[in-house]
Amino acid sequence: MKNLTSFSASQIAQEVSSGNIKAEEVALAHLERIKAEDPKVKAFITVLEESALISAREVDLKRSQGKKLGKLAGVPIAVKDNILVEGVETTCASKILKGFKAPYDATIVEKLKKEDAVIIGKTNLDEFAMGSSNENSAFFKTKNPWNLDAVPGGSSGGSAAAVAAKMAPLSLGSDTGGSIRQPASFCGLVGLKPTYGLVSRYGLIAFASSLDQIGPMSRNVEDAALLLSSIAGHDLRDSTSSPEAQTHFSGTPLEKLRGLRIGMPREYFAEGLDAEVQKSVWNAVNCLKTMGAEVKEVSLPHTSYAVATYYIIAPSEAASNLARFDGVRYGYRAQDVKNLSELYEKSRGEGFGPEVKRRIMLGTYALSSGYYDAYYNRAQKARTLISRDFENVFKEVDFLATPTAPSAAFKFGEKSADPVAMYLSDIFTIPSNLAGNASLSIPCGLNKDHLPIGLQLIAPAFEDEKLLALAATIEKAVNFPQLN
């Protein structure tokens, strides 16, 4: 029997389109895999068994009627549970949204449906995408399929684990400070944070609006390009989506690397970086060098301000974005309240988890009268300097190569008691969100514990296609193993 869960998304789309396999078979195979694996991995908050089979059969019907199928014909896709799928519960892994049924489709979900994708389930995350380990989910912790004692990373940990454990060939994550790339790195996947403005945010429950970006997670670069081609493009419903957004990405490896300049920012290879990670990243970069690329050390001098800057801007926006969860119109509402302020206090107090509350408080403080200039305003200035660092460095080089995270996947509980240690696990991914450029993680090796290590590649804004091409080149050279 064909091992459908090992197929790539591109293969599935091709085979379904040509009629060699049925979308229903593909859906059934993945649903079975979920039944077998998910009790251990716990990637899904909701498995859409029924609706996945219905949409798979619709795809098959469409084909039997001789209609042309979309780019993602019959491809099962797992969607992070902060993205709205009409009629489906969307929780953000928070008690406050438990039972909330999405009243509309996110733009990208509309697009997936148009391309004949099969949405197979909604995946777990750190509550409201705030976290780096999935330990902040209000419901349960997703495990790393490579080692069930290790975290899958976060916040898109469920999306990463689902694809790594072959419960879906593709998933969607969202990345505010590394939430796609860091779990991709921990789970041995390709994870792309597209350029800010390339993919519509309409229907993504906002964490930090100026940083959030939806992106693909996959087991190979070609699949990431395929999914990006389906979701990218200007959206009139999102004012921050770019009118120049490209819609076609191929992820074809580069033929030659001669003349290509790759920068290694010295600030990313400093103290605190795991030695095995460093070695693995160096090896990958050396591969590129062997193939003819020019590799040089560069500097992004304001890197050390990135985490602090991020932890002012992101919570400020989050405090405002999450204010709508007030128990009035939807979501959790506290019972037995005496008045309006008690309704707010209890609903929010009981509905939000500790990390979300911490960030709401941070953001509220940073924006409050008398502190705005010292925090929010200064953070904006620092953000400008960090963006300028990238602008300057991209005059010297075409891409940057860095580790995605300072270490491979850590163990549950290892950092959860120390928020700052947890925040620092995003130290290399945060700057790209602040600058809005394109950034991707690709597996480049395994450590001695057999855990994946991620290489981060960063390209200037709207160079996503070139970024995918470079990643594909590395993919070919590195030949990273898949889990069985």
Partner 1 sequence: MTEPFEMVVGLEVHAQLGTETKLFCSCANDGFGAVPNSRVCPVCTGQPGALPVLNKKAVELATQAALALNGKLAHKSIFARKNYFYPDLPKAYQISQYDEPLCLGGEVPLRLKDGKTKTVPLARIHMEEDAGKLLHAVGSQTLNHSLVDFNRGGVPLIEIVSNPEIFSSDEAYAYLTSLKEILQYARVSSCDMEKGEMRCDANISLRPKGQAKFGTRAEIKNLNSFKNVKEALEYEFLRQSDILSSGGRIVQETRLWNGKETVSMRSKEEAHDYRYFPDPDLLPIELSPEWIEKLKSEIPELPQARRERFVSAYHLSPYEAEVLVADQAVSDYFIEVLKLPEAKNSAEILAKLIMNIPDFSPIPAEQMAALTHLCLQKTITLNQAKELYPEIRESKKDPKALVEEKGLAQVLDEKILRDWVQKALAANPKAVLDVRGGKKEAAGALMGAVMKLSKGKANPALVNKLISEGIDKA
Q: Measured between alpha carbons, how far is 345 from 337 in angstroms, rounded to an integer?
A: 10
Number of residues in the chain: 484
> Does the protein bind partner 1 through residue 369 (CB under 8 A)?
yes
Rule CB under 8 A: choose which of 36, 61, 148, 236 binds partner 1: 236
- The alpha-helical segments, DSSP class H, found in 23-98 are 23-41, 49-64
> Does the protein bind partner 1 through residue 364 (CB under 8 A)?
yes
Which C-beta is closer to partner 1: that of 104 or that of 140?
104
> Does the protein bind partner 1 through residue 462 (CB under 8 A)?
no
> Does the protein bind partner 1 through residue 378 (CB under 8 A)?
no
CB 204 within 8 A of CB 180: no
> Does the protein bind partner 1 through residue 339 (CB under 8 A)?
no
Q: Measured between alpha carbons, how far is 396 from 460 in angstroms, rounded to an integer?
A: 12
> Does the protein bind partner 1 through residue 368 (CB under 8 A)?
yes
Tell me how many residues contact partner 1 (CB under 8 A): 43
Task: Give one DSSP letter per residue of 230-261, joined into a string.
Answer: HHBS--TT-TTS-TT-------PPPS--TT-E
Rule CB under 8 A: choose which of 140, 342, 372, 413 binds partner 1: 372
> Does the protein bind partner 1 through residue 195 (CB under 8 A)?
no
Nearest to 244 by CA among 257, 228, 233, 236: 233
Which C-beta is closer to partner 1: that of 316 or that of 416?
316
Site for partner 1 in 70-129 (CB under 8 A): 83-84, 90, 92, 97, 100, 102-104, 106
Task: Give one DSSP letter per residue of 296-365, joined into a string.
Answer: EEE--TTGGGHHHHHHHHHHHHHHHHGGG-SSSSSS---SS-SSHHHHHHHHHHHHS-HHHHHHHHHHHH
Annotated catalytic residues are 80, 155, 179
> Does the protein bind partner 1 through residue 310 (CB under 8 A)?
no
Which C-beta is closer to partner 1: that of 340 or that of 483?
340
Collapse the DSSP code of 193 into the 3-class scheme (helix H, G, I; strand E, B; otherwise coil) and give the result.
strand
Q: Measured between alpha carbons, how far is 12 from 7 in angstroms, rounded to an integer?
A: 6
Tokens for 90, please give them.
Answer: 């969307």
Only one of the segments 31-39, 238-246, 256-264, 278-286 lies at the binding site for partner 1 (rule: CB under 8 A); that segment is 238-246
List of residues contacting partner 1 (CB under 8 A): 83-84, 90, 92, 97, 100, 102-104, 106, 201-206, 208-210, 236-240, 316-317, 319-320, 323-326, 328-330, 340, 344, 364, 367-369, 372, 376
